[in-house]
Amino acid sequence: MYQITRNMAANAPSPELLSALTKTVQEDNMSNVHMQGLANELDLAMNDATYAQAIHEDYARLFIGPHIPAPLWESVLRDEEHLLFGKDTLDVRHFYQNIGLVFPQNASEPDDHLALELECMWVLNASLLGAIQNPEQDLAVIQASCRLQQQFLAEHVLQWVPQTCKILEEAAQTAFYRLFARLLSSFLPLDYQFVQELVTQTAKIPQRKEFVYA
Residue 206: its pLDDT value, please?
Answer: 65
Give the mean pLDDT of 45-60.
94
Residue 73: its pLDDT value, please?
Answer: 94
> Domain range holding 35?
2-210
Residue 5: its pLDDT value, please?
Answer: 93
- Give 106's pLDDT tier (boundaries 50, 70, 90): low
Residue 172: its pLDDT value, please?
Answer: 96
Distance between CA 88 and CA 49 in Å, rounded? 40
Confirm if 185 and 70 have CB atoms less than 8 A apart.
no
pLDDT at 142 over 90: no
Number of domains in the chain: 1
- Give 148's pLDDT tier (boundaries 50, 70, 90): very high
Decide: pTM greater than 0.85.
Answer: yes
Q: Give the contacts of 42 (CB within 8 A, at least 6 positions apart).
A: 18, 21, 22, 25, 176
Distance between CA 145 and CA 103 in Å, rounded? 20
CATH of the domain at 173: 1.10.3480.10
**Nearest residue to 24 via CA among 44, 2, 49:** 2
Distance between CA 97 and CA 123 in Å, rounded? 13
Residue 214: its pLDDT value, please?
Answer: 45
Give the mean pLDDT of 23-28.
81
